[in-house]
Structure 1
Amino acid sequence: MGVTAPVISEILQRAADGGRITPDEALLLYTEAPFHALGEAADTVRRRRYPDNIVTYIIDRNINYTNVCVTACKFCAFYRAPKHAEGWTHGTEEILRRCAEAVDLGATQVMLQGGHHPDYGVEYYEELFSAVRDNYPGLVIHSIGPSEVLHMAKVSGTSIEEAITRIKAAGLASIAGAGAEMLPDRPRKAIAPLKESGARWLEVMTVAHRLGISSTATMMMGTGETNAERIEHLRLIRDVQDKAVANGYSVEADLAGTVGGFRSFIPWTYQPENNHLKGRTQATSLEYLRLVAVARLFFDNIPHLQSSWLTTGKDVGQVSLHLGVDDLGSIMLEENVISSAGARHRSRLTELIEIIRGADRIPAQRDTQYRHLKVHWTEADDPTDDRVQSHFSSIAIPGGGTGRSLPLTPAPVNS
């Protein structure tokens, strides 16, 4: 690396010490920094933030209310166009039945997701969220994303502010980072030309944060974006979080989680099956792991970093725990969107615990706001319920699996 080695070392040290790095410096680290030095710096940040050595997980269920969508993203294998023979919509009774199963298995969160149905405005979501809240008040509704907010506001003829205010009153507690994919204009237009711009996605998140709803931020790697565009995606998110922190909406400003801001960053990799892109995943495991480490160094204002074992595999997920990651995400009792594009990595809760322990970390079940519900300080504290496994894909069943109970098939132990 010649003359760049001292420069890289200085940037790594500054970031490890908690200093801010620029996008150009982040790009240099992503493309040139020695892997082990990059990982060591990122893990230094994690240890400073979380000296208890705890890695968290959550139990939840992703429930899709419809697969009908007018957006037609090229990377999506889940959606069906309006009037398509394979399109379906679940009624409230079916959604509540699935919530009941999730609660029985220890879930504390539900993610309600669906396509941009041409008929679903704010009123539909008010009815859906209030039904879940009223029947299962202990189940946190971490759902939809900015794309759905913009769509429902358009259908109902309301502002973003009114739409968010109304669905928050109906029970929405947190907005998912869904729909971010790639925020820079060029790659976003290439893969989702009918979807809102990255700027609009960020605008919705900014409004949500101002209105007291915290959220997650995501990134999909591997659809032809450049390294510079990956770092630009990070910059756009950090800039929005800076606004939240400056205005007192930071998650870290209120441990009760009642204010807005991004709680975590979750990068994942494009899955190439059954969609119009039809390409091989262009983000290798090494590229993914390097991005994870750079994200921990770059996001000095976002508390948590989650890796996506669902898309990259459990082995990569475990390695990521040495690169700044403090959360392994969820045992998703049901997941359809990424699964339909080819993601087949599954896990039991007991196996996820083993992965965390194998990385010399202490597992802990968390809630939506990252508060610890159960810390498994010793192996004697570990859960033993083998029923808690991910993930059942209901769209493999005609009509979206209406009336079918969890689980249909056991998840392989060594998948």
Structure 2
Amino acid sequence: MTSATSLQSILDRAADGGRITPEEALTLYTDAPLHALGQAADTVRRRRYPDDVATYIIDRNINYTNVCVTACKFCAFYRSPKHSEGWTHPQEEILRRCGEAVELGATQIMLQGGHSPELGMEWYEQTFAAIKEHYPQLTLHSLGASEVVHIGRVSNLDHAAVISRLKAAGLDSFAGAGAEILVDRPRTAIAPLKEKGDVWLSVMETAHGLGLESTATFMMGTGETNAERIEHLRMIRDVQDRTGGFRSFIPWTYQPENNHLKGRTQATSLEYLRMVAVARLFFDNVNHLQGSWLTTGKDIGQLTLHFGADDLGSVMLEENVVSSAGAKHRSNRQELIDLIRGAGRVPAQRDTLYRHLVVHTDPADDPVDDRVHSHFSSTALKLLPVATAS
């Protein structure tokens, strides 16, 4: 047990912008008083963003297929190849959903899906090019390192070639999808067929070098130890020291329904808040930190704004993967604005690059559109098969 004096010394140094070691981060995560931990993280956030703005984005997560060979134990969304409930959206449906998103004010599309053996390099190139042709105003913040690995296997291409061709087809940046936890033991336990964590990081480092930035994520609560949680952060920070390509860090919590893990292990709300705070203190080289309302609930999402987070993520017009595993939280633009304002912050709609598009300084001028709500359209809610690509 670390003494109170030693804990305060680490907190003070981190709050002042000093770098803390993984060992010190673990000590803070396990032993620091909750309010002191949150206060130190909030101090870092205030120094980075003295305007007190907290942001959100309007986007749509279009899950283009549920067919997947990876069979992760935490996933309730996927279906194996040839399964009767498997589907892949045709290009026309993807474009229709993009058009809907534009009409509702979305600035970003996240294309994410299963690792289907039927989808190779050309499918992604054609799909991205079609989106950019029809909706050039949409930012394609899509896929992730795992998809790069999969496309490379299907199309017999190295990672750099896949990334370069995706970029040429219209990909603007990579999402942090597929990170889950990057440490070997827990990653192998929950996703034995997925690439190793160091491969995931290698793909991201290659992408950063080729001019495609990304986010980094962390799924908490699948049986990892406290030390393994901090090691995940350490692995990301080391790559960020070399590339500077991670725009933000986004931790979220495992959802326990309809999957093989069945909720035997989960992260508590307090564990999540402690992780958000420690991440803000540890990532002296990552600009943004996003709190999750989708997996933890809107009350905890709001509290993250007092624990170092400067962003509440997305209104999320559509989301199917986490919803399939039991994430039932829904929100809308006005509610996110109110959550941010209720935390004593100034709400602002941002774009993918975290530039402020609209700053909501006066509640009387808040946007009014009841259609801008999460899960505007979701196969996870409808539970209906959709057309298979020809």
Question: Structure 2-normalised TM-score?
Answer: 0.97
Helix, strand or coil: the match of 2:247? strand
Aligned to 2:378: 393
Q: Which amino acid aligns with 1:36?
A: H
Deviation track 1:169-217 (CA, whole Å, cap 9, x = no partner) reads 0000010100000100000000000000000000000000000011000
Aligned equivalent of 1:255: none
Distance 2:7 2:183 in 1: 26
Q: Which residue of 2 aligns with 1:334?
A: 318
Give the % identical residues.
72
Deviation at 1:280, TM superposition (A): 4.4
Aligned to 1:349: 333
Q: Which residue of 1 aligns with 2:256?
A: 272
Gap change, CA 1:100 and 1:161, over 3 Å in 2: same
Which residue number in structure 2 is paired with residue 257 of structure 1? none
1:10 aligned counterpart, secondary structure: helix
CA deviation profile, 1:4-51 (whole Å, cap 9, x unmatched): 111110110000000000000000000000111000000000000000
Q: Which amino acid aligns with 2:380?
A: I
String of CA shifts for 1:264-305, please: whole Å, max 9, x gaps. Answer: 000000000000111245200000000000000000000000
- RMSD value, Cα: 1.2
1:301 and 1:380 map into 2 onto residues whose CA distance is 37
- Distance in 1 (alpha carbons) for counterparts of 2:22 and 2:385: 43
Quote the offset at 1:102 in angstroms.
Answer: 0.4
| 8 Å CA contact 1:88, 1:399 repeated in 2 | no
Distance in 2 (alpha carbons) for counterparts of 1:398 and 1:371: 36
Provide runs of 4+ in structure 1 moved above 3 Å.
395-403
| Contact 1:321–1:359 (Cα < 8 Å) also in 2 | yes
Query: 1-side partners of 2:374 and 2:387: how far apart?
Result: 18
Tell me, yes or no, if the aligned pair for 2:87 and 2:387 is still in contact at 8 Å: no
Q: Cα offset for 1:385?
A: 1.2
Report the equivalent of 1:22. 21
Q: 2:153: which partner in 1?
A: 154
- Give, in whole Å, the separation in 1 of the partners of 2:386 and 2:338: 31
Q: Distance in 2 between matches of 1:163 and 1:348?
A: 36
2:42 paired residue number: 43
Q: Structure 2: which 5+ runs fail to align?
A: none
| Structure 1 match to 2:106 | 107
CA contact 2:87–2:385 (8 Å) conserved in 1 = yes
> How many residues end up aligned between the 2 structures?
387
Unaligned runs of 5+ in 1: 245-249, 251-260, 404-415
- Inter-CA distance 274–32: structure 2 relative to 1 (3 Å threshold): same
What's the TM-score once normalised by structure 1's chain length?
Answer: 0.92
2:219 partner SS? strand
Supply the distance in 2 between the matched residues of 1:279 and 1:121 (Cα, whole angstroms): 34
* Mapping of residues 186-201 of structure 1, within 5 Å: 186-201=185-200
| 8 Å CA contact 1:87, 1:399 repeated in 2 | no
